Amino acid sequence: MGLYAQLLRLPHVAVLLAATTVARLPIGINGLAVVLYVREVTGSFAIAGLATGALALGTAVMAPLAARLVDRRGARMLIPLAFGHAGSLLALWALGSAGAPGAALAAAAFSAGAAFPPSGAVLRSRWPDLIRDPGMLRTAYAFDSVVVEFAFVTGPLLTAVLVALVGPQAALGVSAALVLVGTTAFLDRLPGARAPRERAEAHRGILGPLGQPAILVVALTTLPVGFCLGAVEVALPAFSDGHGSPALAGILLAVWSGASGVGGLVFGARHLRSGLVETYLAIALLFPLACLPLVAASSPLAMAALAVLAGLPIAPLIASRNQLVGARAPRGAGAESFTWLLTALVAGSALGAAVTGALAEADSWRLGVLVGVGLAAGGAALALAYGAPCTLGRRPAEPVARATHRAAVRGWADFRHRW
């Protein structure tokens, strides 16, 4: 772990990571807190599901626009967004206490999701300015992916404690406080946070940085990855329910997320022999292969072991993807470039969860996983066919197949060496 020690000794890095960790804890708190609170005040899981869906939809739809605002007006815009997010959570609490209709609760949840400050995307877009060593830059992106996994693991645990001690409304209040404290601390220590932002490059249309072919390819291939993640997220509880132990779902999901965090830490602590694109393509191919054995699980212990296997490539995939986007993002549109990936991941995950949930009702959760694996493999093939030519910088005369083969062979050899 020497690379992580070196990373944290660099100027500003440790405090920025600590601040953004606090600011992103609500990612793991809000979903569970909203569904538990709305269910408590309305007595309806349907309304609770509507509010939780509105929260995710607000983030997926509005995150790129919020990040575009930050890119154009500067990181100082994170503060009004943080207040908007916290205020919406508190409004949801107040509306629920007042017996407001479900539509009002869903509107407040949508507003909370829409206003979530993209401090993580801002930090990723600033890594190249803060860290000049390419090897250390990869470690930073890997550590950042582990922070996200930490939020997904710690957030629900913190929510469970608060619900047990006080009630779900306390989780909403703590989430609001965390986003304000974390975002304020992040902005206070971010170098040049109040300096004028450089003008964005020519990709200014509605889709912004998606006008850059490399960003578009990575975003499109993130959709099927999200579908597969959403499928597994529903398949694990369905498996647990089928084995007569619904509580097992929490353990399996924690094992899955924990394995992803471990994978990210190991990935960031290793020196790469192959290039960034080759590594990304190799892990993109490995990810669906790691998820496929889940369909063969016959016992809870076997499923736990297979969940570890399925989780290991997730954080490395996200880290290598983020570093690739950081290297290809148009100048002045870095935060927005990263949030388009979030939108693609959330949209794919929601669709994967919905499809697998419907299949699980017919006792076919395995089919949902197979569909997710197939789509993720197709996304990896798309990245190989179209991503390699537009991001490897090869000469136009070089055949696509040759560039694809070279990327796959070199990336797989490096991944096998590291693991």
Same domain, 189 and 214: no
Judged by DSSP in three states, 198 sits in: coil
Task: Report the amino acid identity of residue 226.
Answer: G
**Helix, strand, coil content of the chain in percent (nearest 5):** 85, 0, 15
Inside any domain, residue 198: no
Which is it for the CA torsion 7, 147, 265, 329, positive or negative? negative
Decide: 405 and 389 in contact? Cβ < 8 Å. no
Q: Which residue has better confidence, 390 or 323? A: 323
Same domain, 183 and 220: no
Same domain, 183 and 252: no
Report the pLDDT averaged over residues 60-88. Answer: 92
pLDDT tens digits, one per residue of 181-190: 999 999 999 9
What's the 3-state SS for 75-109? Answer: HHHHHHHHHHHHHHHHHHHHHHHCCCCHHHHHHHH
Q: How many other β-carbons are positioned within 10 Å of the β-carbon of residue 205?
A: 8
CA distance readout (Å), 350 to 31, 48, 236, 259, 374? 13, 16, 15, 22, 17
Helices (H), 166-275: 168-189, 213-242, 248-269
Same domain, 219 and 145: no
- Which among 193, 225, 259 is the end of a domain? 193
- Which among 134, 160, 193 is the end of a domain? 193
Nearest to 199 by CA among 332, 38, 82: 332
Same domain, 273 and 364: yes
Inside any domain, residue 199: no
Decide: 225 and 345 in contact? Cβ < 8 Å. yes
Same domain, 166 and 212: no
> Quick check: 410 pLDDT over 70?
no
Same domain, 258 and 343: yes
> Lowest mean pLDDT: which of 50-54, 82-86, 197-201?
197-201
Q: How many other β-carbons are positioned within 10 Å of the β-carbon of residue 1?
A: 11
Inside any domain, residue 9: yes
Inside any domain, residue 306: yes
Counted domains in the chain: 2
In whole angstroms, what is the distance from residue 79 CA to residue 179 CA? 10
Q: How many other β-carbons are positioned within 10 Å of the β-carbon of residue 103?
A: 12
Same domain, 264 and 383: yes
Confidence label for 311 from pLDDT (cuts 50, 70 and 90) = very high
Same domain, 95 and 130: yes
User: What CATH number does residue 170 fall under?
Assistant: 1.20.1250.20
Same domain, 161 and 257: no
Query: What's residue 412's pLDDT?
Result: 42
Residue 113 DSSP symbol: H
Inside any domain, residue 201: no
Percent of the chain with pLDDT over 90: 37
Task: Report the amino acid identity of residue 357.
Answer: G
Structure tokens given for 296: 């063969």
pLDDT tens digits, one per residue of 90-105: 999 999 999 999 999 9
- Which among 193, 220, 240 is the end of a domain? 193
Percent of the chain with pLDDT over 70: 88
In whole angstroms, what is the distance from residue 372 CA to residue 361 CA? 17
* 341 burial via Cβ count (<10 Å: 0-12, 13-18, 19+): buried
Same domain, 342 and 217: yes
**CA dihedral angle for residue 59, residue 60, residue 61, residue 66, rounded to 10 degrees:** 50
CA distance readout (Å), 397 to 21, 82, 393, 400? 46, 49, 12, 9
Residue 92 belongs to domain spanning: 1-193
CA distance readout (Å), 167 to 27, 158, 162? 19, 12, 6
Same domain, 278 and 416: yes
Helices (H), 270-333: 276-291, 300-311, 314-328
Inside any domain, residue 213: yes
Inside any domain, residue 200: no
> Lowest mean pLDDT: which of 64-68, 98-102, 195-199, 366-370?
195-199
What's the farthest any 2 CA atoms get from each other in the chain? 67
Query: What's residue 217's pLDDT?
Result: 86
**CA dihedral angle for residue 185, residue 188, residue 190, residue 191, rounded to 10 degrees:** -160
Confidence label for 147 from pLDDT (cuts 50, 70 and 90) = confident
Inside any domain, residue 415: yes
Query: What's residue 396's pLDDT?
Result: 35
